[in-house]
Structures are given as C-alpha cells and as structure tokens.
Structure 1
Amino acid sequence: MKAASDHTPVLWTPGDWNAFFGFGTNILVNLLVLTGLLQFVLKMPSDIVFGRILPALGLMMFLSTSYYAWLAYSLAKRTGRSDVCALPSGISVPHMFVVTFVIMLPIASATGDPIKGWEAGLVWVFFQSFILMLGGFIAPFIRKVTPRAALLGTLAGVSIAFISMRPALEIFMTPAIGLVCLAIILVSWLGGVRYPRGIPAGLVAVAFGIVISWLTSAFGLGIGDMKLSNVVSAFANFGFSLPVPAVDHVFSGFQYLGIILVTAIPFGIYDLVEAMDNVESAEAAGDHFPTTRVLTADGVVSLIGCLLGNPFINAVYIGHPGWKSMGGRIGYSAATGVMVLLLCWLGIVSLLLAIIPIVAISPILLYIGMLIGAQAFQTTPATHAPAIVLALTPHLAAWAKTLIDGTLTAAGTSASQVGLDKLSNVGVLYHGLEVLGGGAILSGLILGAICVFIIERQFAQAAAFALAAAVLTYFGLMHGESIGVGNGLGVTPTLVVAYGLMALFLFALGRTSFVLSTERPPATPELEPAE
C-alpha cells in the first residue's frame, strides 16, 4: 500500500470541465466588465487597454491560478486525497469598481488625461500589494480567535449583496434568456441532471443565451441587443501583445499619494479579511490551505501585475465550495489561467464582449452566491445562525447605500443636497446605511463574532471583540468612509463610546457569577399557536 506522500494526484478529472467552464465564465464576465469600464467609462486609449493593461492582467492571473493549482496538488499529494479543489482566484471585483470610480475616474476627469488616472490606479495596487504581504503573517492568528460563523457570515453578506443581487436583477430584466439559463444550470448543478455526452451545464446555458439573443436581435423582437457592427469593430483589437514594464508610470502616480492612501489602507485590510474568509470557506469544504502563503501570493502576483501596468488587484475568490461541488479539482484553476492569458495576449476579449450576452452568464454568478450564502449556515452550529444574520446586515446596508448614491448621482444630486430629514421621512434612513455599511466586511466579522461568543456565554471573548470594534471604529476602519481620527475623538465618536460601553458590560458580565437563566433559549423559539 502506498504512503500518502507517494500518491500522484490526477491533474484533470471530468468534473474539472464543469468547474473550468463555470469559473472560466465567471472570470470572463469580470474581464468583459473591466474592459468596458476602461473603454467606455475611463475613455482609456485602445492601445493602453489591449496593449498594456490586459496583457499584464493576463500574466498576473496566469501566475495566480497556476500557484493555487500547485498548492492543491501539494495538498493532494501530501494527504493522499483525490478530492482536493484548488482555490479560485482572479481580479478582485469590489476593488475593480473602487479603483475605477474612486481613484482613476476622478483623477482622469480632473486632469483631462485618462493616463494620469491609470497611473494613480497603479500606485493604489502598489500599496495594496504590500498590505497583503505583511498582513499574511497576522492572518492565521485572526482566523484562530475568530468564530467560523463570523468569518463565513460576513462572506455570505458579500455573496448575497454584491455577487447574487446584480445577476438576479439582470436575469429578471431579460427573463426569456436569464430564467431559462438559470433553470439549465440549476437542474444540473443542484438537481444532478446530466446533459448529453456530458456537456457542461454552463456551456449549454451560455450557448442557449447566445442563440436566443442573436436570433431575437435579428428579427427585432427586443429580447436581445446584439449588433454585427460591434463584432466587426472588435477585430481591430486583435494582435499579440506581451506585457512590458510600467515602473515609470507607477512612480508618476505617486503625486496622488494623499488621495490614494485614504482608500488603499482600509481596502488592503478588506482584502486581508476577505482572503481569510475564503480560506476558511475552503477549509469548511474540507481543503486546508496555509493562510500566510495565500495572502503573500496574492500580494506578490498583484505587485508583479502592477509593475507591468495592471491597476487591478488579485484576490482569492469566494466560491471554492461551489467549484468543488461541481467536481473541480486541480486542473480547472491552471486551465483558467491559460485561457485568460491567451484572451488577454491575443486581444480576443473585445470580440467576446461583442458576441456573448451578459445575461447568459449571470445565472452562474447567482449560483455561486447561493452556495456561499448557504455554506455559512450549513457548516456552523445551528445555534450560531443569529450571528450569521447579524454579520449579513452591514453588507445589506452597504449595498442599499450604493444603489441610493448611484440613483441620486444620476439625477444630478446627492443625499446631502436632498436632505437626510427628507429621506428619513420617506423611510430611507440614509445616515444609518452610511454608518452601518462603512467597512462592512470588518463590521460584519466583528458583530458576528460578538454574537457567537454571547451565544456561547464566553463574555470575556465577546468583550475583547467589542473593544477591538471600538479601536477599529476610532480610526474609521469600521463604520466610516475614510480612515483618520476626525477631530481627535475618532471618525464616528459616538460609536466608539458605544462599543466601549458594550465591552465594559460584557467584561463585567464575564467576571460575575450572576446569571439570569441556567437554560439556553432554543435555537428557533416556538411560537404560540394562533387561537
């Protein structure tokens, strides 16, 4: 009988096809959105988009996915297991929008030069990369002291608010394509239905979406909106482009350092916590990966991409349990990296942007969001369910605020101009959304941890997390839109005091033997029957 160390893992399994297509289309959606932001929002020249940014991004993703495939191979070889699934990774989606709208667009608009915006984005990633590399050494300790329900609960909040909702809305805006594609995916990935010749469900869904969209566009039925002229113009971006150093552009962006650090530090911490959450998610699914190596790898590959001209950071993705449940193992990760490398180096992304309707891919993202939200409840004790719900709330607040801000901006106004009192009178508690949603991933983690420790009657640990919340809130890392100390009393001083009082109360409770009840309340309180 072979020892575990003598086991040679299989690099590709039939399930890798499903995971490759599902994960690959997920990455493809992000590439299409990212390219659209660069071209149509930032007005970036095509030679920069397809000749500098995408080639650097492609190399970054190839390095990242190859490294995580190697980590999975090493784990499978060491343990003798055949069910190890590689961590998914790619462009950080929240950061993609933040660096575009908060960093690059304002600077490009102020200077009238999109290249200046690009350079500022490179500096943003430069600092984020070092925060990740340094943070990797404290992440294992944070994972050790933080309850799983808190880590997975705040991750579920991200999945519901920022992964599931937009695809769900897109599906119901074009239901003739979206709902049918959703059904095609769900009957296979949840219902176990196999399509003829083992064709991946994701491929069937996207093929159906392409056919219906183009047919309805051809007959003017209004369901699809695909144009042949877009396909023809996309061929202009074909070519072979290798990444070249962009160190001079990185240093040019340092003139905007003051603006950049305001968001780079808190979002670097966001990356740190999100990566920990996703590693915890993988461990809950049975695959243990070293947190320090994961975070360091994210930082290193992001730095390489940045120095070659890519202003978008790499991140371990949410969704490992989803790809594993599809049968993904090792090969799907490396294959996705090769696919992205070819798409970016050959300029094929613009052609795909013109051929594939986004709504055909939306159900795949919704499915991943569903699994991550479910995992938080399935892999934690039932008694911790209230803590998971509490950890969700900051993300729902952040999502609602994002929609409100976008709506008001489109109308040429803002919440302050409309008036918070007027918004409150119609049920929109804007200030509450602003405070609760600020630093949502940290807020969700801390609130979830406090709740878990209260449920377990470990009041000293709950007090420690409440005290940590006071410190983080003082510096604006929780419940704040920017870091700092305000006028010396903290960014949101009332909340700092409130968390401090909560910590004192919980600490005092932990030091006394006085207990109101010796019985725990039931996980699900029974309701009195209606008369």
Structure 2
Amino acid sequence: MNTTTRPHWISSGDLNGFLGLVVDNLSIMAFLAAALIGIFGMPPDIVFLRMFPGTTFGVLVGNLAYTAMARRLAQRTGREDVTAMPLGLDAPTSIGLALLVLGPAFLHFKQSGLDQHAAGVATWQLGMASLVIMGVLKFVLSFFGGMVQRHVPRAGLLGSIAGIALVLMGFLPLVEILKLPIVGFAGLGVVLYALVARARMPLGLPGVLVAFVVAALLYYVLGPLGWLGTGYTPPVAWQWRFALPLPTLQWMNGMAAAVPYLPLILPFGLLMVVGGINVTESARAAGDDYRTRDILLVEALATLVAGFCGGVAQTTPYIGQPSYKAMGARSGYTLLTGLVIGLGGVFGYLSNIVELVPLSVLAPILVFVAIGITVQAFEATPTRYAAAVVFSFFPAIARMVTIKLSDPTYVPGDRLQALFTDRAHGFSELAVITVLGNGFIITSMIWASFVVAMIDGKPLRAAWILLLGGALSLFGIIHSVQLSGGIYLPWLLDDASRLLAWQFAGAYAVLAMVLVLLTTATRFTQSDTA
C-alpha cells in the first residue's frame, strides 16, 4: 500500500461537485431569507448581518473538516479516488425551523409589545439557542447513534421527515410557484424533466442550474414588461454587508424562549444523527470507508460553531456522496464550497445573490427535494410498512393547517385564541387540529412506530410505545393543549385545558390496554384450542 500518495487539491470533477453543492446551500439560504423576510416580515439586517454569517461559518467549518478527512483517508489507503462527504445546510429542518419556530416566534414577540428590531433580535437569539441545543444533542447521540437507529423503526424516522417534506417543503412552496405560474411552473417543469425524468441537459449542465436560469430569465424579462402582474419586484441595489461571525453568548438569552419549541427542536437534531449514520453507510457502500462517529462528531461540531457564532440553521452531511463520486468529485469540491459559502456570509455577497433570486425561482427545487424525500421514505422502507409511513403524515398535515390559521393575515390573534378556547360544544375542530399538530414530528414517530410493531406481530411492544406517547402528551411534548405548542406540568393547567390533555393522554393509555387485552385473549383462546 502506498501511504505517501497525495491527491490533487482540485480535479475536473470537483468543479461539477462544487457547483451542485453550492446551489444546494444557496437555495436553502435563499428560502430561509425569503420565509423570514417575505412571509413573516423580519428586518433584513437581522437576517443578513446576524443570522447569515454564523450559519455559513458552520458550513465552512464542516466542509473543511470533511475535506481533511477525505485527504487523510486517501493517504492512508493510497487511493486518489476518495470523495469527501458533502456537507451543507439541511433542507427539511432549516425550512421547518424557519416556518415552525423562527417565524411564529417573531410574530409572538411582536404581539407581546416588542418593536420590529427588538423582535428580530429576540428571534435571532432563539435561533442560536435552538442550534446550540441541537448541536449538544447531536454530540451526545453521536456516541449512541446506532442504538437510536435500532430502537426507532425506519418507517418512523423517514415517515416523520417525509411528512415535513410533503406538506412544508412541497405544498407550501408549490403555492409560491402558482403565485407566479409562468415563472415557477416553467422552473418546476425543468427540474422534473432533468431530475425526475433524468433527461440530459444541454452541454451536460446540472438540471438545477438550468432551472434557475430559465426561471430567472422569465422573471427578469417578463416582469419589467408587466406580464407578471404585481408579482414582479425590481432587484434591489447591491449592498456592501460585512459581518464577522464572532462567538457570542447572546444565545443564552434565547434559551427560555426556546423551551416551548423543544418538541420541534429535539427531533430535528435526532433526525440528523440518524441521517448521518445513513449517509456514512451510503459512502461506505460507494467505497469510501469513513468512521461513522467521526462523521457525526464533525456534524455536531459544525452545528455548535454555527450556533455560538450567530447561526440559526443546522448543517448535515448530504445523502448524495455516491452521486458526487460519480461526477468525479474528490476533496476539492467541499473545500471550494466551504470557502465560497463561508466567506459569502462574511462579505455579504451571498445575501446580495439571495436578494436577486425570487422565491418563485427557488420553490421548484424545494418541491423536487420534497418529492425525493417522500419517495425515499417508501423506497427505503419495506412495503409492508407503507401504511405506517402514510399514517405518520397526518400530524404534519394538521401542523400545516395550524400554520395557515395562525397567520394573522387570515385570522387575527385574539379571534384565533377565542376559537381555540371556545369549548361550549365540546372540543372545537380548531382545537383538535392544533393539538394534533403540536409536537407533530415526535407524534409521527410514535404513530409510525406502534403501527410497525403491530404489523410485526408485537402488540405488547406497540402498547409500550403507546404508553410512551400518552406520557409525552400529558406534558405537552406532543399534543400540547396550548395554542403556542408549549410544554407544561398538567396540574398547573386550567380545568378545560387539563381535561383536554387528559383526554389525549387517556386515548393512548386506553388503546394500549385494548392491545394488551386482545393479545391476552388471543393467547388464551389459542391455549384452549391447542
């Protein structure tokens, strides 16, 4: 074995890999900004000067570490075809954090009396605290990732994230597409043509890049002509934004505000640990034998660094390492991506690029990602568990409905609270939908897991899972009876809320008892007929 082999820093395949990885990260950053600024009205300076630098710095740190790991593996094995693990911002959790945590929290801070800027700062601190919590969780679970993977069935893990993908990453961006159908539908068609139908693009260009170009040209050519109606917004002037991602303790100020969102934040971290295990196995199957713990520790480190430096979106190794390997990418593409994305957050050119890309241009890529994640949930799960995967989607649908109902544009906050607490005729539909959607990621895992146990002929295991679900619902970790989705001690609730909490917890307990009784009766019957 030749242990002195030193791979080239940049290969021709690294340029293709770099383009694809940069576009992936750029699209997530753009949607994060579009959601927080365009949908929720957060001040742009908070997003671009406080959130972006730390977020992109995490991408830089993680990609530099993965580059070093790839070069070390190449030297140790004497191979020049080692491909680095791609790292970037995780699409489902970054978008989920924006739509489910940061955006609603910003509106809550404003309703509590803070002005626009103060509410933005409080939201930024909450985002940092969320990232630190996820980073610590990922660090701890990196030593127990295998155990987590063994005890939570794949249908529960993939089903829960597919639910996020289908209704949040798929349906909501599809609505944005159809706000500017000429632009968005054309971009979506190109994405489906290139990435779903796998048709070859002219000059071998990446399909995502072609979709970007087509949609952007339609937007900036037809918009000034008035053919897009009021949906066209002229590009903003280029602004010089310089902000160093310096470590700060302001995340500590957001810890208290992050507590009600723990049922969302903790599953986001858990999903990335399991995802890191899966992508490491995928890379190993492609010929690059990385240590799973090293991959997970780098992922946790990058997330913690981002959180300490002002970031609000977590990093993760991407599932497409074999695809980058097939492109001929080695270790240079992660180095280039880390530098371009990391420095882009510092010197501000990334925010200017993001401002030039309207949401209708980005949304088609997100719809494709949503389709891919949902399809993977079914392909990677045995067919007999398909019903469990589908069953796990319902809490995510409830959460999407709650998000739209919580938009003060449609239902004022005081009116929504009145509808939620009006139980003159029993539990209102709005209350049931909201309670079902609160903590929906963990709920999806619980639901899929107990259905999988029943399919496997293990009703007692299903009963234990249901009892766990009942215990979690009692404290608001799932099925929170508060409109905000917060956790609580049930004995401190008012009478009506406590009744609702006990009803949901009791539902799990009763079903668990039914399964135990059915199992006992079946065994008794079988022993009598034996």
CA contact (8 A) 2:243 2:347 kept: yes
How far is the alpha carbon of 1:306 from its aligned partner?
2.9
The answer to whether residue 192 in structure 2 is matched with residue 186 in structure 1 is yes
Rounded to whole Å, the distance in 1 between the matches of 2:425 and 2:68 is: 53
Q: Which amino acid aligns with 1:432?
A: V
Q: String of CA shifts for 1:88-107, please: whole Å, max 9, x gaps.
A: 43162222344533445544
Change (3 A) 1:127 1:420: closer
The answer to whether residue 233 in structure 2 is matched with residue 236 in structure 1 is no
The answer to whether residue 180 in structure 2 is matched with residue 171 in structure 1 is no
CA contact (8 A) 1:273 1:442 kept: no
Aligned to 1:197: 203
CA contact (8 A) 2:83 2:321 kept: no
Change (3 A) 1:370 1:116: closer
Secondary structure of the structure 1 residue equivalent to 2:89: strand
Q: String of CA shifts for 1:47-101, please: whole Å, max 9, x gaps.
A: x655544322221121133445566777898798979783543162222344533
Q: Which amino acid aligns with 1:495?
A: F
The answer to whether residue 80 in structure 2 is matched with residue 86 in structure 1 is no
Residue ranges of structure 1 left out of the alignment (5+ in a row)? 518-531
Rounded to whole Å, the distance in 2 between the matches of 1:423 and 1:296 is: 52
How far is the alpha carbon of 1:25 from its aligned partner?
3.0
The answer to whether residue 66 in structure 2 is matched with residue 64 in structure 1 is no
Q: Which amino acid aligns with 2:244?
A: L
CA contact (8 A) 1:56 1:243 kept: yes
Q: String of CA shifts for 1:340-387, please: whole Å, max 9, x gaps.
A: 113212211342234223222222111111111111111222111111
The answer to whether residue 338 in structure 2 is matched with residue 337 in structure 1 is yes
Aligned to 1:525: none
Aligned to 2:348: 347
How far is the alpha carbon of 1:16 from its aligned partner?
6.3
Secondary structure of the structure 1 residue equivalent to 2:337: helix
How far is the alpha carbon of 1:202 from its aligned partner?
1.4
The correspondence of residues 68-467 of structure 1 with structure 2, limited to 5 A, is 68=66, 86=85, 88-90=87-89, 92-104=94-106, 106-107=108-109, 110-112=113-115, 113=118, 114-222=120-228, 225-226=231-232, 228=234, 230-232=235-237, 235-238=238-241, 240-247=242-249, 249-250=250-251, 253=253, 257-263=255-261, 265-279=262-276, 282=279, 296-310=297-311, 312-316=312-316, 320=320, 333-406=334-407, 411=412, 413-418=414-419, 429-467=429-467
Rounded to whole Å, the distance in 2 between the matches of 1:329 and 1:515 is: 62
CA contact (8 A) 2:267 2:442 kept: yes
Between 485-494 and 168-177, the greater mean CA deviation after superposition: 485-494
TM-score calculated relative to the size of structure 2: 0.80
Rounded to whole Å, the distance in 2 between the matches of 1:11 and 1:395 is: 44
Rounded to whole Å, the distance in 2 between the matches of 1:15 and 1:414 is: 57
CA contact (8 A) 1:474 1:491 kept: no
How far is the alpha carbon of 1:410 from its aligned partner?
5.2
Aligned-pair identity in percent equals: 21
Rounded to whole Å, the distance in 2 between the matches of 1:177 and 1:145 is: 45
Aligned to 1:497: 506
Rounded to whole Å, the distance in 2 between the matches of 1:23 and 1:423 is: 54
Question: Pairwise CA RMSD of aligned residues?
Answer: 4.1
CA contact (8 A) 1:150 1:447 kept: yes
CA contact (8 A) 2:138 2:270 kept: no
CA contact (8 A) 1:276 1:291 kept: no
Q: Which amino acid aligns with 1:376?
A: A
CA contact (8 A) 1:446 1:466 kept: yes
CA contact (8 A) 1:185 1:201 kept: yes
Q: Which amino acid aligns with 2:454?
A: I
CA contact (8 A) 1:14 1:327 kept: no
CA contact (8 A) 1:103 1:121 kept: no
Q: String of CA shifts for 1:9-29, please: whole Å, max 9, x gaps.
A: 898787766665454334223
Q: Which amino acid aligns with 2:316?
A: V
TM-score calculated relative to the size of structure 1: 0.79
CA contact (8 A) 1:156 1:376 kept: yes
Q: String of CA shifts for 1:188-234, please: whole Å, max 9, x gaps.
A: 22323222321111111111112111111222222685555x432xx
Q: String of CA shifts for 1:460-487, please: whole Å, max 9, x gaps.
A: 3222322222222223222222222211
**Matched positions, count:** 503
The answer to whether residue 489 in structure 2 is matched with residue 485 in structure 1 is yes
Secondary structure of the structure 2 residue equivalent to 1:492: helix
Rounded to whole Å, the distance in 1 between the matches of 2:320 and 2:415 is: 38
Rounded to whole Å, the distance in 2 between the matches of 1:12 and 1:513 is: 65
Q: String of CA shifts for 1:419-471, please: whole Å, max 9, x gaps.
A: 6779999xx93222222222111111111111112112122322232222222
Rounded to whole Å, the distance in 2 between the matches of 1:33 and 1:219 is: 26
Aligned to 1:470: 470
CA contact (8 A) 2:48 2:348 kept: yes
Q: Which amino acid aligns with 2:98?
A: M
Secondary structure of the structure 2 residue equivalent to 1:110: coil
CA contact (8 A) 1:143 1:276 kept: no
CA contact (8 A) 2:69 2:84 kept: no
Between 383-392 and 402-411, the greater mean CA deviation after superposition: 402-411
CA contact (8 A) 2:59 2:338 kept: yes
Q: Which amino acid aligns with 1:351?
A: N
How far is the alpha carbon of 1:397 from its aligned partner?
1.3
CA contact (8 A) 1:134 1:296 kept: no
Residue ranges of structure 2 left out of the alignment (5+ in a row)? 493-497
Q: String of CA shifts for 1:224-257, please: whole Å, max 9, x gaps.
A: 85555x432xx2325x54322323x345x2xx65
Q: Which amino acid aligns with 2:149?
A: R
CA contact (8 A) 2:142 2:273 kept: no
Secondary structure of the structure 2 residue equivalent to 1:487: helix
